[in-house]
Structure formats: structure tokens, C-alpha cells
């Protein structure tokens, strides 16, 4: 009897301590924005992460904005949090990186990505690794060799559709994006055995990246940790073979050679940097392409305007010529379509930051140590900023600044952490669209929408019906140029 009473008292004390610790920040910070903390331990994280169509804000944000306004407090990812759906505050947070705010991703994400990932490092180490990323972009840029590689990869994927009437487009987009990035980063063909092994582990890694952080054998998170280890081993093998000398399977790659020779970065830094590059170049580009096909596939007028623009560009070129930087700059309507897709689709829904000190902004205070989540997607869908924000309308960008960083439009983040390779992703998407719209028309095969998990995914793989504009038995014009 005494043991039972003591156990009950112990449990009651523990529960009281948990509840007290959960709600204590509310008592200590009366000037924080309005909001709610949800239940102890889990807070409101489950509701926040509940999947929803990526071209909507989702039920959680909609209900909280309606009740508390565009800036509110919550308890997410195990910490008191200020959630911002306000364009001005989002811009303020992103532009004050390392002064008032600092990158602060949850521990489980750091556990998968690695402590050297550009996404999670801070301070001087972030500046050094970001410098490597900028060097990679500078070495790639709009160089003819890079553009020819992208053009060739796009032609190969589209040419492979000959004789088909359907495709799971997400797989096609991943094939193209992975082929483009691995050649630039590691100098290997996508068909190389080492690269095939790398790709086998990559999808497992991505599925666990934002799963529940239960490192128990068999869970998506545990499988992702193991996949990360295998990816690292494969990348180490690739880099070691590169270091020993070219055996003929590698193409010349000033970037990978420069990375290996860099004495300022540890071996783990180098491996993690290659993984970051694949994550950015592969996942982001493939999702962008899938959303382009999704939105354009529902807009015959948009598809027709794309065809007119790209027919004009192709009419001035010989059939064996690759696209150039000058022709990319002529794709003005294509740029509007890409920007509108980024606005509607919201590849990056939000970013993680932490207040380094008490920050007074307008009528409220963001307490030191609290997490801050700028919700980039909510700004893109704000009816006060965009007329009919749920409508896909590339013409809204006509005459406007096409850059992808600003208060109203920040699909790739901003400030010191603006994605270094964002323009490369847009180039690859534009080149793929060029060959796609010139050779094929398509329509969606059934209902499948981009879902925010918070990463964006088409649950069914975006099945589409396709038909070639050339109805003869001859191959598309570019097949012989692969």
C-alpha cells in the first residue's frame, strides 16, 4: 500500500514538473505574441506537421492566423516558438542572421544531415563552407560545358519516352536532376556503379529526414541514419578513387578536385558538403520540375505560350546545337512560369531560427532562446499581397522583378542563407521544359497534388498521360544528338 502511494506521488510530481516546465515560458514572457502551447511534451508539433496541399497554408496555420494574427506563439519541435506568417518579420529575421537570430534546426535533423551540413552549421564555420558552395556555383554558372550537360540530360529523359503513353513523372524528374548534379559535383556518369549505389540509399535518407525522430531499428528515422552512413561511405570511396588518380571512369571536374585538395576542410566536412550538394541539386530541382508539370498540365493557355516561346528559340538553332546562356535569358515567359510555380508550390515551407537575445518587434517581444519559424509559404499565399493567391497565373509576374529573393517572394530563403544554387535549379528546369513542350503534351492521370510533409511530395508519383507532337514513326529530332 505504501509503495503504491509513493509511486503515485512520484508520478504526480513528475507530471507536475513536466507541465510546469512546458508552460513556464508563458509566465516568464507576457510580452510574447498571442498564441497557445498545446499539450506538454508534444506541444502543437503534430498539428503543425500534418500533411496538406503545398499550395495551401494548411488547417493549422489557417486556424492560428485567424485566431491570433500573422505572428503567434506556439510550442513546436520541443521548444517555445514564435511563428511568423508576416512578410516584414520574415524579412527582418532572415536579414539579421548571426546578429539577432541564428540557424537552429532540431537535433534529429542534425543527426541525419551531419554536424558539418551547410544547413545546420553557424558562425565562421558556416561562412567557410558556404564559400565552398559559392565557389561551386561560380565554377558551374552558365558555362557552355555545364549548359551542354544539362541540355543533354534533358534530351535523354524526354527521348526515352518514345512509344510510351504514360509516365510517373516524379521518377522521370529525379532521373534528370540526379544525372545533372552528379556529373557536376563528382564527375561521374549517373550509370556508374558507385552512383547507382548512392541513389539506392538516397530515397531512404530523404524519407527519414523529417520523420518522427525515433532511432529504433525499423523506423524511417533509423533507416535514414543508416542510409546516411552508407551514403557517406560511398562518397568516401568516390573521393578516395578520385584522389588516387583518374581511372578513366571520371570526367574532369575542377570542383571535386579542388574540394579534395582543400586543406581547411576536414574529411567529414568534404563528404557532408557533397551530400548537401546532392540534396540541394537533386531534391529541389526534381520537386520543382514535378510541380511545373502539375501546374502547367492544368493550364492549356500556359502550355501554349510556353510552346510559342520555345519554338521561337529553337527556330534559330541547328538541330544539333545545345541551348546557350543567351537563349536561357530569352526565356522570359518561362521564368514567369517557374516563379509562379515556386510561389504556388512552396518547395521550402519554413526555416528554423533561434533568437540570440530578446528582440522587440513592433508591439511584441521575441524572447531570447525561443525558436522562430518564418513561414515563407504563407507569405506567397497571402491575399493581401497577391490577387487570387490560390490561382496559378504566370502573367502576374509580367513587368515585375524576376529575382527569387525579397519580402514578398523568398522561395529559397534569404539573407546569409539564401540558397547558393537557386539559379542553377531554375536553369535546369527551363532547359527541361524546352524539350518537353516542344515534343510532348500531357495531362494529369488521376488526382495527385503536391503535399507538404513538410517536404513536398506527390503521393502517387504524379502519373501523367503523354502524347508526342510528332505522330510519325520517326524519332524526335534530337535523339541522334544524345
What would the grid cell of residue 211 be? 520523420
Q: Is 103 annotated as a binding residue?
A: no
Provide the pairing of β-strand 79-84 with 371-374: parallel
With b meaning 16 or more CB within 10 Å and e meaning fewer, what string describes 137-155? beebeeeeebbebbbbbbb
* Runs of H (alpha helix) within 332-383: 332-345, 376-380
Does residue 170 contact residue 157 with C-beta atoms inside 8 Å? no
- Please, is 102 exposed, middle or buried when counting C-beta atoms within 10 Å of its C-beta (0-12, 13-18, 19+)? middle
Pairing of strands 353-355, 166-168: unpaired
**Closest to 185 measured CA to CA, from 142, 145, 136, 231:** 136
Cis ω for the linkage preceding 454 (within 30 of 0) = yes
CA distance 339 to 382: 16
C-alpha grid cell, residue 256: 571535386
Which CA distances in Å does 126 have to 89, 115, 131? 23, 11, 8
Which of 310, 340, 324, 343 is CA-nearest to residue 411?
A: 343
* DSSP SS3 for 102: strand
Q: Where are the beta strands (DSSP E) in 311-428?
A: 353-355, 359-361, 364-366, 371-374
Per-residue CA distances from 88 to 67, 123, 153, 318, 343 (Å) = 20, 24, 40, 48, 17
Q: Answer for the pair 430, 328: CB distance below 8 angstroms, yes or no.
A: yes
357 Cβ partners below 8 Å, 6+ apart? 100, 368
Yes or no: say if 104 and 353 are a contact pair by the CB < 8 Å rule: yes
Binding residues for heme: 419
Binding residues: 419
Amino acid at each position: 500500500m505504501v509503495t503504491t502511494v509513493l509511486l503515485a506521488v512520484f508520478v504526480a510530481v513528475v507530471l507536475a514538473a513536466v507541465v510546469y516546465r512546458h508552460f513556464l515560458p508563458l509566465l516568464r514572457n507576457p510580452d510574447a505574441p498571442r498564441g497557445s502551447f498545446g499539450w506538454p511534451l508534444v506541444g502543437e508539433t503534430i498539428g503543425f506537421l500534418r500533411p496538406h496541399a503545398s499550395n495551401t497554408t494548411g488547417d493549422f496555420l489557417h486556424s492560428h492566423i485567424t485566431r491570433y494574427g500573422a505572428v503567434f506563439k506556439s510550442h513546436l519541435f520541443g521548444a517555445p516558438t514564435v511563428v511568423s506568417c508576416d512578410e516584414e518579420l520574415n524579412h527582418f529575421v532572415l536579414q539579421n542572421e548571426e546578429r539577432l537570430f541564428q540557424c537552429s534546426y532540431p537535433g534529429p535533423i542534425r543527426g541525419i544531415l551531419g554536424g558539418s551540413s551547410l544547413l545546420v552549421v553557424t558562425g565562421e564555420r558556416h561562412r567557410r563552407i558556404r564559400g565552398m558552395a559559392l565557389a561551386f556555383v561560380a565554377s558551374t554558372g552558365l558555362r557552355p560545358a555545364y549548359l551542354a550537360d544539362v541540355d543533354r540530360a534533358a534530351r535523354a529523359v524526354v527521348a526515352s519516352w518514345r512509344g510510351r503513353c504514360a509516365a510517373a513523372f516524379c521518377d522521370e524528374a529525379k532521373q534528370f536532376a540526379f544525372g545533372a548534379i552528379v556529373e557536376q559535383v563528382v564527375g561521374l556518369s549517373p550509370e556508374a556503379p558507385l552512383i547507382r549505389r548512392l541513389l539506392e540509399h538516397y530515397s531512404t535518407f530523404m524519407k527519414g529526414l523529417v520523420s518522427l525522430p525515433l532511432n529504433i531499428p525499423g523506423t524511417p528515422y533509423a533507416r535514414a541514419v543508416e542510409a546516411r552512413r552508407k551514403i557517406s561511405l560511398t562518397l568516401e570511396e568516390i573521393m578516395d578513387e578520385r584522389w588516387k588518380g583518374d581511372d578513366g571512369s571520371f570526367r574532369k571536374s575542377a570542383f571535386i578536385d579542388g574540394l579534395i585538395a582543400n586543406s581547411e576542410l576536414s574529411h567529414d566536412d568534404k563528404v557532408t558538403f557533397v551530400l548537401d550538394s546532392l540534396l540541394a541539386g537533386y531534391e529541389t530541382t526534381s520537386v520543382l520540375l514535378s510541380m511545373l508539370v502539375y501546374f502547367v498540365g492544368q493550364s492549356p493557355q500556359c502550355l501554349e505560350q510556353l510552346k510559342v516561346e520555345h519554338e521561337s528559340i529553337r527556330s534559330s538553332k541547328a538541330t544539333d546545337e545545345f541551348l546557350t546562356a543567351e537563349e536561357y535569358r530569352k526565356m522570359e515567359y518561362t521564368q514567369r512560369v517557374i516563379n509562379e510555380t515556386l510561389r504556388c508550390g512552396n518547395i521550402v515551407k519554413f526555416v528554423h531560427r533561434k533568437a540570440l537575445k530578446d528582440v522587440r518587434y513592433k508591439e511584441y517581444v521575441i524572447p531570447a532562446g525561443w525558436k522562430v519559424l518564418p513561414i515563407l509559404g504563407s507569405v506567397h499565399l497571402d491575399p493581401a499581397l497577391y490577387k487570387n493567391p490560390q490561382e496559378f497565373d504566370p502573367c502576374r509576374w509580367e513587368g515585375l522583378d524576376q529575382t527569387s529573393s525579397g519580402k514578398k517572394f523568398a522561395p529559397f530563403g534569404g539573407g546569409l542563407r539564401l540558397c547558393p544554387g537557386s539559379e542553377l535549379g531554375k536553369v535546369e528546369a527551363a532547359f527541361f521544359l524546352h524539350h518537353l513542350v516542344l515534343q510532348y503534351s500531357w495531362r494529369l492521370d488521376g488526382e495527385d497534388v503536391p503535399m507538404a510533409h513538410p517536404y513536398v511530395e506527390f503521393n502517387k508519383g504524379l502519373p501523367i498521360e503523354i502524347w508526342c507532337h510528332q505522330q510519325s514513326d520517326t524519332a524526335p529530332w534530337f535523339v541522334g544528338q544524345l
